[in-house]
Every structure is written in structure tokens, then in C-alpha cells.
Amino acid sequence: MKLWFSTALMISFVLASCAAKPAPTRVTANVADNFSGVLHLKPCVGGAKEPIVADNQGNAEMSACPLGELEIVVTKRSGTVYIKSEDVRVLRAGDGIPVSVTASVP
């Protein structure tokens, strides 16, 4: 009976640790139909537009202030591009607050 209890306890810990990872923050950015290049986002800006609207150079502000991973959904008239969190670069200050977000848009 001790073996059963130990096994159940171990499985509970494993399942809890898997569920502990939060889902990435997801933001939507509208860009010009002919835009291709690096998207430069300034995070944590109060009053920024939702969805994000980038200028012709790919610069924009966003109200989201992601503490973990970030995914970006880029919309163009020609279609939608999903940028996974591993392809998004979030630069952070020493206290962990994001100060810059960049991602390459094909």
C-alpha cells in the first residue's frame, strides 16, 4: 500500500509541474500588406491601440506587458502570420520588465 501511495504522490507532482507553465501572452499586430522585415514593439504603454497598428517601418506601441512568453499574430490584407514565442525576442530590464519586443515578419 505504501508503494501505491508513493506512486500516486509522484504522479500528482509531475502533473502539477506540467500544468504550472502559463500559456504565452498573445497579441495581434496589423501591418501594411507589403510589410516584410523586423517588427519593433514598445511594450507596457498605457493607452496603446488594440490591436497593435504598426507604421510602415514596423514600429508600434503595445499595452501588453508580457512577463513570460509572447506570441504575435500579424495580420495583413493578404493573410495572417503566426509568430511563435521562440521566434519573438523580448528584451527586459534588470527587474524583468519588458522594454523592447522584436520579431521578424516574412
54-72 confidence digits (pLDDT tens): 999 999 999 999 989 999 9
Q: Which amino acid is at 44?
A: C
Contact 77, 53 (CB under 8 A): no
Helix (H, G, I), strand (E, B) or coil at 7: helix
Query: What pLDDT was estimated at residue 22?
Result: 80
Q: What angle do CA 19, 29, 61 make, to 5 degrees?
A: 100
Contact 44, 68 (CB under 8 A): no
- Rounded-to-integer distance, Cα 91 and Cα 101, Å: 6
Does residue 1 register a pLDDT over 60? no
Q: What is the pLDDT of residues 14-58, one digit of tens each?
A: 665 555 678 889 999 999 999 999 999 999 999 998 999 999 999
What is the radius of gyration, based on Cα positions, of the chain?
A: 19
pTM: 0.78
Helix (H, G, I), strand (E, B) or coil at 55: coil
Query: What pLDDT was estimated at residue 44?
Result: 95
Query: What pLDDT was estimated at residue 52?
Result: 95
C-alpha grid cell, residue 46: 498605457
Query: What pLDDT was estimated at residue 35?
Result: 93
